[in-house]
Structure 1
Amino acid sequence: MSLTSEEARAVGARVREHAAGLGARVTVAIADGGGHLLLVERMDGAPPLSARIAPAKASSVALFHRDGGELVRLQQAWPALFAQMDQVAGMPVIAGAGSRLIRRGDAVVGAIAVSGGVPEHDDACAEIGLASLSAIVSA
């Protein structure tokens, strides 16, 4: 089952709500399993560059089928490969905090990425987004 636009909007709303509670201003991006964006929402006051970073992180995670932390480790292990990966992918490849795969069972159906806060806030917001998606699907 693929990720729907309605689910992406509901997750985005939950992430923004959680970020506001933390005092963070972020951009949330959600991509489908092929790395194509379903949602990009930038909160008022979020850093302007976060609107570019979050979509790139979401697409990267979806394409690599690896969470952001694992991508960081791969980037550190093979920096020369990652330096050229954006040419192969046809888009920026960014590894970082606040980016997670969205799975249904064993299948990767998308990715969520949050940018603009400190890494711990980005991670917490991405986790809340995943948890809220589980609640939406169960409802």
Structure 2
Amino acid sequence: MKQKPYLSLEDVKRIAAAAEAEALAHQWAVTIAIVDDGGHLLWLQRLDGAPAVSAQIAPAKAHTAALGRRESKVYEDIINQGRVSFLSAPGLSGLLEGGVPVLVDGHCIGAVGVSGVKSSEDAQIARAGIAALV
């Protein structure tokens, strides 16, 4: 039987703390969501001042990155390049930059989604969180 790594609660807390530190270092009010490999929510943290809608968008970005096993920006780019029919992809709603998969030994074990500032800054925060696992 094959085995694969998974996100432990300790891992999730480490990712969340590093992502929060990155956001606070830049005074960015965001929501941070962490999901498992099936896109199921493990962590949701809305920093003071983060827009209410970010609590819906961040988990959607994370879900999309986990299921697709790639950054959610890939889907945003596909749509922006004219393939708008991709908007009808079943089960995917976070088709904006800011969702980043957590990849370990070739396995996608989850994802981090961030929302509240520019999409590139959201992704920067997510990547900073994931970097804490290394």
Moved more, 6-15 or 51-60: 6-15
| Residue aligning to 1:127 | 127
Larger deviation: 65-74 or 27-36?
Answer: 65-74
Q: Which consecutive unaligned segments of at least 5 residues does structure 2 have?
A: none
Structure 1 residue runs of 5 or longer lacking an equivalent are 135-139
How big is each residue's C-alpha offset from its partner over 1:28-74, in whole Å with a ceiling of 9 and x where there is no partner? 01111111111111001111110000000000111112212212123
Contact 2:64 2:99 in 1 (8 A): no
**Superposed counterparts of 1:1-139, under 5 Å:** 1-76=5-80, 77-82=82-87, 84-85=88-89, 88-89=90-91, 93-134=93-134
Tell me the CA shift for residue 130 of structure 1: 1.4
CA positional deviation for 1:4 = 1.4
Structure number with higher helix proportion: 1
Normalised to the residue count of structure 1, the TM-score between the two structures is 0.85
Q: Figure out how many residues of one structure are paired with residues of the other and give that number.
A: 129
Which whole-Å deviations, capped at 9, do the CAs of 1:3-50 have from their partners, x for residues lacking one?
A: 112211221111111111101011001111111111111001111110
SS at match of 1:93: coil
Deviations 1:50-102 (A, max 9, x none): 000000000011111221221212333431232x22xx32xx51122221110
Identity of aligned residues (%): 32
Pairwise CA RMSD of aligned residues? 1.4
Q: Which runs of 4+ in 1 moved over 3 A?
A: none
CA distance in 2, matches of 1:63, 1:69: 13
Verify the 8 A CA contact 1:5 1:39 in the aligned structure 2.
Answer: no
Contact kept, 8 Å, 1:22 with 1:121, in 2: the verdict is no
